[in-house]
Each structure stands twice: as C-alpha cells, then as structure tokens.
A and B are shown apart, each in its own frame.
Chain A
Amino acid sequence: MDKSEKFALGLSGLLLITFFVAILYASVAKNIQVPTCITDVEPFTTDTLFQVGEDEYELHMIARMWAFQPSTVTLPAGSTLHMYVTSQDIIHGFKIENKNVNLMAVPNSINYMSVTFDEPGEYFFACHEFCGAAHHAMAGRIHITEDDEVEATGGDL
C-alpha cells in the first residue's frame, strides 16, 4: 500500500465509524428505535383501542386483504399511541405519513412501535407491501384533533 492508499483507507474507515456512532447515538441517546416485538402471547384476533394512561393509548390493529382494522383512528393532540399490529392473512405493511412509523404486518407475529402525535391534523397511511389484487386501495388515516375525541372506526375506508 502506498501513502495515498493508506490515507484513503483510513478516511473510509473513519467515515463508516462516524456513521455507526451516529446510529448508536440515535438509538441510545435519542431513543429512536426500530420496531421489535418478541412476544410470548398469541396474536390477537380482534382490533381494539383503549386508554392506558393520561395521553396514552394502546391500539391493536389487524391488517387483512384489503383493509386495516381500524382504518380511521381519532385521538387528541399530544397522545402517545402504542401500536400493536398483526395480519389476519398475508403480509402487509404501512408507514404513517410525516411520522417515523414503518411496520410490517406479518401473520402469526405481532409488531410494535410507539409514536407521539403533537401536531393536530390528518396522518395518512397506505399499505406498502404487495398483498394481492386490491393492494393499492388499502389505506387509512389517523386524525389528531384539538379536542378530546377518541375513536377507532372502519375496516373499509
């Protein structure tokens, strides 16, 4: 190896270490996580939404061909939502617009992520894993309101 090669190699190594440290910083110091759920309970078969604390809600969502249950969720601004997601049939997935929530819904497994909605507004989500003929019509919305409404509705949008 000549001098310039050593320099370039060192720089590349440094670059990658920087990236990796940034990832560790984001997960440890900023607590930005990827979904994980190693459960020891069988996946739920009905969808529910209930309050678990002040401003905290738990949602059990079921994805199926070709709708999310529930497909519309209404919550007050400032709520933290603990989302548990499974699928009733094949693989689905979704990402919530403008939010760091991206989950695969896999049958016989439960996926989990929690998210806080501070800004009122409408948050759209669409199924992003091919799930058959009407995959492109499988979507839903989370409404974040200024008042204290809480509601989970639908199956079909």
Chain B
Amino acid sequence: MNQYVMKIDKSSQYLMAVLLIIPMIMLVIGVYGGLMQTLFRAGIVQSDPFMGPDYYKGLTMHGVLNAIVFTTFFAVAFGNAVIPYALKMAMNMTWAWVSGILMLFGSLMAGIMIYIGEATVLYTFYPPMKAHPLFYIGLTLLVVGSWIGFFNWIPMYLRWRKENPGRKIPLSVVGIFVTFIVWLIATSAVAFEILFMLLPWSMGLVDEINVMLARTLFWFFGHPLVYFWLLPAYVMYYSYMSELAGGKLYSDGAGRLVFYLFIIFSIPVGTHHQYMDPSIGAEWKLLHGFFTFAVTLPSLITAFTLAASLEYAGRKRGGKGLFGWMFKLPYFEKDRWLFSYLITGLIIFIFGGISGIVNASYQMNTAVHNTAWVPGHFHLTVAGPVLLAFMGMSLYLLGKYLNKEVKMKGLSLSVPYIWMIGVFIFSWGMMRGGLIGMPRRTNTGPTYANPDSVLFQPEWISYIDISVVGGVIMTLSILIYAVVFFATVFSKKREGEPELTFPVSEAYHNEEVSWLRNFKPWIIVAIILIVIAYTPVILDVLGSTYGGSPRFDPNNPIPY
C-alpha cells in the first residue's frame, strides 16, 4: 500500500526530539532504580551510589519516572505525530511547545523534589504522608501540559470533520482522542485532590486532610491511568501492526467499538483498588467489580481481532494448517523491526491480562492485594506491551523526525525478546512470592530476607532471588536499547528533508457503523456511569470517616 508522506518542519522536528530524548533519559534512570530495588530486596546492596540508602526514595523515583513521566511524554509525542499525519493538517506549534515545556518543567520539579528527599511518598502520594508542595505542583504542571497538548488537536479534528463530511475519522485519530478523553476525565479528579486538598494542606494553609477521600479520588484517576498507558499501544496494534506483518486489520469496526467502550468503562471501576479499604460499602465495591469485568470485554475483542489479523498475514505469507500461520510472521526481520516490539508485547499481555482478571475478582483480591503479586502483574502490562510499544515507536519516530537511519537494527531486534524473557522471570518470582504473603513496596533486605533478623522469612528467599535474575536481564535489554537509541541520535543525517510515514493498515472488513462515528454519546454515557458508580462511594466515605489527619514526614511518627 502506498502510504501518505508528510513533510516535517524544523519546529516539529526539535519539539519531537525533546519529547522523545528527555523521557528516554528518565526511563533509563528509572530502570536503574528498578534494578537497584531488586538488589536491595535481596540484601545484596544496602545503599545506592546515586540515590543513597533510602529504598523508598528510589522506589518513588522508579514509579514516577517510569509510570508517569515517560508514559505521559510519549503519549503526547505520539499524538503530535499521529494527529497531523492522519488528518493531513499542520499543527499549531506554539501551543505544542507550551505543552512540551510545561511537561518538562513539571517533571523536573517533581524529580528534583524526589531526589533531594522531599517527596518520598511513592507515586501514589497517599496522605497523610506529606511531600513538598513543589512535588505536587510539578505533577500538576505535567498533567496540565498534557491537557494543552490534547486541546491543541481538537480544532484540527473539528476542521477535518467540517471539511470531510460523511467520511470516517481515521482509526488512529479515534484511538488518540479516546486516550486523551479518558485522561482528561480521570485527571480532573486527581487535579481536584491536589489543588483543593493536598496542596493547601502541604503548604500549611489547612491543618487536616480526609485521607479516605483523597485515596478514593486518587483511584478515580489511578485505574483509568492504566488505560491511558495502554491505549497508545492499542493504536499501534490496530493501525500499524497488521501492515507491518504484511496483512490487513481484520475489522475496522471492531477497533472503533473497542476504543469507544474504553470511554465508558475505564473510569467507574476505580474502587477495585480499594476492595480492602474501610469506609466503602461492599455492594459498591461489587458494582465497581462488575464494571471492571465489562472493561475486559474490549480487551477480549482486541485479542480476537489482532489474532485474526495476524492469522491473515501469516496465511498470506504461506502459513498452512490451523497454527502454521503463527510461524510465518516476521518475528526476526530487520527491516520490520517494529513488529517484534509489538508482538512480544502482545504475548506478555496475555499473562498481564489473566493476572489482572485475578486482581479484579472481588474476594480473590484478598489473596493478592498489596503483595508482591501486584508488581509482578503490572510489569506484565505497563512494563510489557506498553513499554515495548512505546520504545519501538520512540525509535521509529526518532528516525523519521531527525531524518536518520535507525542504527544497529539487528541489535534493536533483540531488545524486546530479551525483555520478554527477563520480565517473565522477574514477574514469576514476584507473583509466586506474593502468593505466599510477600508484601509489595517493602525493602525486604534488612529484615525478611536477612537470616540474622527475627523477622527472617526463609520461604521468600528463592522468589526474591528469582526477581533479581529477571531484573538483571531486563536491565540488559534496556542497556542495549539505549545504545541503539543514542547511536541513532548521534548518527549522520540522511540525504533530503525529514518526512513522516506510518505503516497504516488497510481493513479486511471495513464496515460502516453509524453509531461508531461520534464521541459525544459515549462521553455522556461515561458521565452517567461515573455518577452512578461514584456517588454512593463518596457518600460512604464522607459518612464514615471521623476527622482529618495532620501532616506526617515518612521518617517521623510525630506529626507536624
């Protein structure tokens, strides 16, 4: 298929370089933190040469840089490429720069606060543990920057609709818009939490905070956050993967339906993170559990549609029989290296999805909540399909925007496979340990993994060590990736002007579905479901919490 080619101007080029390179540095720092955590947990190190002896400071850095900063930057950068390309329209660069600079500024502010030890509160920043006000302000700027990035695309979308009456919006645009609609609704709750609760309280303007309310608002945001991570990867799976595999997207309508379902079911589910909390009625926890199952439906449709698309590609490439097509896909082809980043992510996601259904299953959550099972699970999602798709696409965009040939394609091809092996080993160790009670967010080194401690837990040791092995392999994969990435950054330019193309897939079934054309009805349904799901939860919380909490420093049991 002949793909549209878009010229890239200087301003977009520089902005994209900033939005890709800076978060990549942050990712490398964050991943270093992850390696250190596994070593701390096993008692192999007691102090980190850069971050010092405080495990939890490093863990805060790891969570914030990897899961918030890297992902948000990438989502905006990806949108800045997809929207002008798919709509064939220039973007307003002034606002795009404002968005990028705010995000950069905010991330640095939050990162510095963590680094100097003023924000050791983990990426969930639950009160009444208090961080420096600049940490909260930094996160707010990051979010506001991402909003501006989104708002900048809306006039383009509206103009396109006016100029192209009756035509279907490109699927990739639907995906990016859904990503950011979910993000906007979700972040409004955490913005409320920060601006009206945490910030005045951390600055000493008010003395007390309602801990359960803050926690509930956080999880209103916290679950859709994971779909904000996942949806850009879905855009790549639906819009590009089939073309990369040499086939067609099985159904365009299925893709649209999936994205729209995410608008309605992403948000009224957050209480499934609070199954073990007080002050929320069990019936409402169950309702959120029910909606959580509803949101697995689009993922099951995706599993089918993508498998069917890949089967089509495999058969076209000569695959025979029931499973023969699986062996004909371009797993190790240098000039289709992006495919290997996507397919490995999908394989990892099978296990991420299954373990996620376990977490969501109401009473079953009792067996796993806050145990090491949980980080085991989400390294199979956010550090699986999300990370690999983002790394692959970052490298792809880097080559296009900087007008460079991606270097060492063979080496780059090994990255996702090494990561897959590493993360499977790592997560297996964490999850098995979690099932016998090993807690998450815990530096097991000095106590539970220490034979000299009265708290020593001999059964946990082998699982802690397995996670070290996995962690080392994962780190190796990221190091190779960093070499490829920066070798590309510093390589010589190609001849000619920079141009952007995407491997956009054709659809095998390209049906016209009239009710899959407009965001508005889906947003309205989403809001109705949110009101139904969250009104009773908030009322329960307000009705059965008593008084507020003063400020606590993580190192001191006496409030101040």
Contact = CB atoms under 8 A, between A and B. Distances in A.
Interface of A: 1-2, 4-5, 8-9, 12-13, 15-16, 19-20, 22-23, 26-27, 32-40, 42-43, 64-66, 85-86, 89-91, 93, 95, 97-98, 100-104, 106-112, 124-133, 135-137, 139, 157
B296 interface: yes
A132 B552 contact: yes
B300 A102 contact: no
Contacts of B436: 97
Contact of A64 (B369, B454, B557): B557
A108 B437 contact: no
A85 B407 CA distance: 57
Given A34-B285, A42-B546, A133 B211 contact: no
Given A90-B552, A128-B440, A135-B443, 14 more contacts: A1-B511, A8-B304, A9-B304, A33-B282, A91-B126, A91-B211, A98-B437, A102-B365, A107-B211, A124-B457, A126-B437, A129-B441, A136-B55, A137-B447
A32 B55 CA distance: 36
Interface stretch (B138-146, B355-363, B394-402): B355-363
A98 B511 CA distance: 52
Interface stretch (B271-279, B337-345, B498-506): B271-279
A38 B543 contact: yes
B122 A130 contact: yes
Given A90-B129, A104-B277, A128-B370, A16 B282 contact: no
Nearest to A130: B441
Given A20-B290, A132-B555, A111 B455 contact: no
A108 B549 contact: yes
B540 to A, nearest CB: 6
Contact of B366 (A64, A102, A132): A102
A155 to B, nearest CB: 12
A129 B370 contact: yes
Contact of B447 (A98, A106, A136): A136
B279 A38 contact: yes
B215 interface: yes
B475 to A, nearest CB: 23
16 contacts: A12-B300, A23-B286, A38-B544, A65-B552, A90-B129, A90-B552, A100-B367, A102-B370, A110-B278, A111-B276, A126-B437, A128-B371, A130-B56, A130-B59, A131-B129, A133-B56
Contacts of B289: 23
A132 to B, nearest CB: 4
B459 to A, nearest CB: 10
Nearest to A140: B455
B528 interface: no
A43 B546 contact: yes
List of 6 A-B pairs having minimum Cβ-Cβ separation, nearest first = A128-B439, A111-B278, A65-B557, A12-B300, A132-B554, A128-B370
A66 B386 CA distance: 36
Interface size range on B against A = 35 or more
A106 B441 contact: no
Interface in B353-409: 357, 361-367, 369-371
A95 B362 CA distance: 16
A36 B281 contact: yes
B366 A136 contact: no
B297 A12 contact: yes
Nearest to B361: A23
B296 A106 contact: no
Residue among B278, B285, B300, B555 with max Cβ neighbours from chain A (10 Å): B278
Contact of A107 (B286, B439, B455, B549): B549
A109 B544 contact: yes
Interface string B292-321: 011011001100110010000000000000
B275 A19 contact: no
Residue among A64, A86, A133, A139 with max Cβ neighbours from chain B (10 Å): A133
Residue among B361, B363, B511 with max Cβ neighbours from chain A (10 Å): B363
B46 interface: no
Contacts of B131: none
Residue among A13, A20, A22, A100 with max Cβ neighbours from chain B (10 Å): A20
A32 B364 CA distance: 9
A109 B297 contact: no
Interface in B247-294: 251, 253-254, 274-282, 285-286, 289-290, 293-294
Contact of B128 (A22, A86, A104, A107): A107
B559 interface: yes
A101 to B, nearest CB: 7
Contact of A109 (B55, B279, B282, B437): B279
A23 B363 contact: yes
B286 A27 contact: yes
Contact of A37 (B211, B278, B293, B552): B278
Nearest to A123: B437
B117 to A, nearest CB: 11
Contacts of A106: 211-212, 215, 277-279
Nearest to B445: A136
B546 A16 contact: no
Given A23-B361, A34-B365, A100-B366, A127 B439 contact: yes
Contacts of B463: none
A93 B276 contact: yes
Residue among A36, A98, A124, A130 with max Cβ neighbours from chain B (10 Å): A130
Contact of A157 (B365, B448, B454): B454
A131 B439 CA distance: 13
A36 B286 CA distance: 12
